[in-house]
């Protein structure tokens, strides 16, 4: 009697000439393991898995069987090397004059160069906070109003002093006329 061969059923394969009684089961790329299908299973090849975006492969025997989430950097650190499918990423301490929210290192905002006032200086984990400066015409307007008020005050004082002097001159004139009589 001769050997007869049958095609492998769905979700099974054989990749070499063999004497198997049954085909091998196709690998499953499970998202809970951080995996997705890179190449679907065929009659002659197993499923090829690859890590999900943001994951890297940790079990490389023949095929990626498990993956881990890339490490994330803490505030005050930045991503020095972006992770790839088979390598995690490295975090480094921030550079002076900059900050990081755990992603990339960014220079602190220079409020003065934006014609703004610095409310708070930046730290290693936060950016500098800026606010709009009062418009320059506002200072000119305030100074002009103060000048006008001062001028009005002086004019009022001069008028009061002149009226008192007139009254005193009038009293002196009446007193002099009374003495002449």
Distance CA 148, CA 150 (A): 5
pLDDT in tens, 77-113: 666 555 444 444 444 445 566 777 655 667 788 888 8
Total residues belonging to the chain? 181
> Which residues does the chain have with pLDDT short of 70?
60-62, 72-97, 101-105, 134-136, 169-181
Amino acid 121: pLDDT:
87
High-pLDDT (> 70) share of the chain, % = 71
* DSSP character string of 123-145: -SSS--EEEEPPPHHHHHHHHHH
Report the predicted TM-score, pTM, of the whole model to 2 decimal places.
0.43
Cβ-contact 72, 102 below 8 angstroms: yes
Amino acid 170: pLDDT:
62
């Amino acid at each position: 009697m001769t050997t007869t061969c049958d095609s492998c059923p769905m979700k099974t394969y054989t990749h070499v000439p063999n004497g198997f009684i049954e085909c091998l089961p196709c690998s499953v790329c499970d998202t809970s393991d951080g995996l997705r299908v890179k190449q679907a299973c065929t009659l002659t090849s197993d499923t090829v898995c690859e890590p999900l975006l943001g994951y890297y492969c940790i079990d490389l025997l023949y095929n990626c069987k498990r993956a881990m989430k890339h490490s994330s950097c803490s505030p005050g650190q930045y991503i020095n090397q972006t992770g790839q499918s088979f390598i995690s990423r490295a975090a480094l301490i921030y550079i002076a004059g900059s900050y990081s929210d755990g992603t990339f290192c960014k220079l602190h905002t220079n409020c003065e160069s934006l014609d703004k006032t610095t409310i708070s200086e930046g730290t290693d984990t936060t950016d500098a906070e800026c606010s709009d400066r009062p418009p320059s015409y506002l200072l000119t307007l305030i100074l002009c109003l103060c000048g006008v008020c001062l001028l009005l005050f002086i004019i009022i004082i001069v008028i009061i002093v002149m009226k008192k002097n007139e009254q005193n001159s009038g009293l002196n004139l009446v007193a002099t006329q009374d003495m002449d009589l």
